[in-house]
Amino acid sequence: MKNTLFIALLWRTVAAYLVLALTLIACLAGLSASGIDVPSREMAASVVFIKLKPTFAYLAFVLVVLALEFGLKVNVVRLFAGRRLNLQPSAWHEYLVELSTLLVALAVLNLLVAFTASVEAWINYRLFGQLALLLIGTFVISGRMSRFGCTRTLISFGSYK
């Protein structure tokens, strides 16, 4: 049963991350269209900036979801069909805090690899290592969620019950 919780939490996390990433990209595109280059074209083409983009993305996601959670009491991951999961509000809060910790760790690890490894090694880490660590981290977190009494998911693709 933990596997279904893992899959349910993983796709909700990825969906929330993509929506927030697309929102950030749209905001940057809007600034660029208005004549404000964030970042400048020279900076965007540099290898260092390219290596740091995942770190910025992870930290931006963490800042937004924690600000919404603690400021407005809105759990972004729960918004994505969270009613279909049999989780208490405290479990959603714990998941978000643990996910934020995981993403901060991935951001720090990306910094370490970006500045200590070659570009080829960083590309391999970025393509395979970060994805594997995110999957493993989400799996471990979903295993820890069982202490909140969530032993199954309500999997139905029809209407909410």
Range of the domain at 141: 2-148
Domain count, the chain: 1
In a domain, 157, yes or no: no
Is 160 domain-assigned?
A: no
Residue 19 lies in a domain: yes
Query: What are 85's strand-pairing partners?
Result: 153
**Is 126 among the domain residues?**
yes
Cβ–Cβ under 8 Å, residues 77 and 92: yes
Residues 155, 161, 157: CA angle, nearest 5 degrees: 35
Domain membership of residue 43 (yes or no) is: yes
- Whether residue 49 lies inside any domain: the answer is yes
**What is the reported pLDDT for 39?**
56
Query: Would 156 be classed as within a structural domain?
Result: no
Of residues 34 and 27, which shows the higher confidence score? 27
Report which of residues 85 and 98 the model is more confident about. 98
For 30-74, what is each residue's pLDDT tens digit?
666 666 655 555 655 677 878 888 888 889 889 988 998 899 888
Would residue 158 count as lying in a domain?
A: no
CA distances (Å), origin 18, targets 12, 23, 24, 58, 90: 10, 8, 10, 11, 24
